[in-house]
Amino acid sequence: MTSGDDVKDADAALVNGEAPPSRHVPLDRGRILDAAISYIDEQGLAGLTMRRLGQALGVEAMALYRYVAGKEELLDGVVDRLVAGMQADDQVLDRPSDGWQDFVQRLAHGVRRVALAHPKAFPLVASRPPEAPWLRPPLRSLEWVEAFLAGLESEGFSDEAAVAAYRAFTSFLLGHLLLEVSTLGADLGPLDVMEESVEPGLEDFPMVSRLRRQLAEDKAAVEFEEALEELLNRMALVRQEGDGG
């Protein structure tokens, strides 16, 4: 009866690139990962549960296991998808086109952008068990490591210089971004804005108490910029020295 028509309509819509109107969208791995990221963004990492994630997708928990091997593997997929999100960022170049400084700067800001877009999920990038010593968080993707190293060497960096730069770059990113998203969680965490709060137990620490306001100021952006500039200076130095063994 109606089935033939339905199928034809669905096919036509599918060919048209539209979403199937009435029936379940067939739930692929990408949708699961995206839903997981959204869930973490909204409810926090601790709230993520297979059952609840299934619920958010209108499906039972066990259905997810057709697409992900388990929760650990799901989380791995989440960090993959996060770093892969940088590939879509057209501000980030996959090779230097305007000098290596520009290249590194764009890459750094790309990583920072995904960190700020997903503050609750970003710590995952740092805390997942490491796969190899040459995959340093938060650059958890062979593609980007390759791009970084190749990019630098194409701009005159030696092997040693490129590797050293890679190490310094990841350390810089991890420290700054982890702290930035961390304090970002602390700012929105307390319910009231507490404009002039007298925190309890702070009277034993006069320095902290006195500098309370300046310590609470959010200067993460300029700090990031300055530290990045400093890093570029160091990289420029190590670039033009033959070897430093």
The minimum distance between CB 241 and DNA, in angstroms, equals: 49
Q: Is 236 in the site for a second copy (CB under 8 A)?
A: no
The site partner of 150 among a second copy, DNA, none (C-beta below 5 to 8 Å per kind) is: a second copy
Q: Residue 159, interface with a second copy (CB under 8 A)?
A: yes
163 binds, among a second copy, DNA, none (CB under 5 to 8 A by kind): a second copy
| CB 83, min distance to DNA, A | 22
Q: How far is the CB of 227 from a second copy (least distance, A)?
A: 7
- Residue 200 binds a second copy (CB under 8 A): no
Closest CA to 45 of 164, 139, 128, 154: 128
Alpha-carbon torsion, ordered 70, 74, 75, 78, to 10 deg? 180
Do residues 142 and 155 make contact, with C-beta atoms less than 8 angstroms apart?
A: no
Given a contact cutoff of 8 angstroms between Cβ atoms, the answer to whether 37 and 75 are in contact is: no
Are the beta carbons of 31 and 25 closer than 8 angstroms? yes
Residue 37 lies near DNA (rule: CB under 7 A): no
Q: Is 111 helix (H, G, I), strand (E, B) or coil?
A: helix
Reading the block at residue 176, the tokens are 């700054």
Q: Which does 51 bind (CB under 5 to 8 A by kind): DNA, a second copy, none?
A: DNA
User: What token pair was written down for 235?
Assistant: 């990289």
- β strands within the chain, DSSP E: none
71 binds, among DNA, a second copy, none (CB under 5 to 8 A by kind): DNA
**Binding partner selected for residue 4 from DNA, a second copy, none, CB under the kind-specific 5 to 8 Å limit:** none
47 sits near a second copy (criterion: CB under 8 A): no
* Contact assessment for residue 156 and residue 99, using Cβ atoms and an 8 Å cutoff: no
Nearest to 113 by CA among 133, 88, 140, 80: 88
Tokens at 177, concatenated: 């971004």
Name which of residues 98 to 127 contact a second copy (CB under 8 A). Answer: 123, 126-127
Applying CB under 8 A, which residues contact a second copy?
123, 126-127, 129-134, 136-137, 142-143, 145-146, 149-150, 153, 159-160, 162-164, 166-168, 170-176, 178-179, 182-183, 185-187, 189, 199, 201-202, 204-208, 210-212, 214-216, 218-219, 223, 227, 230, 234
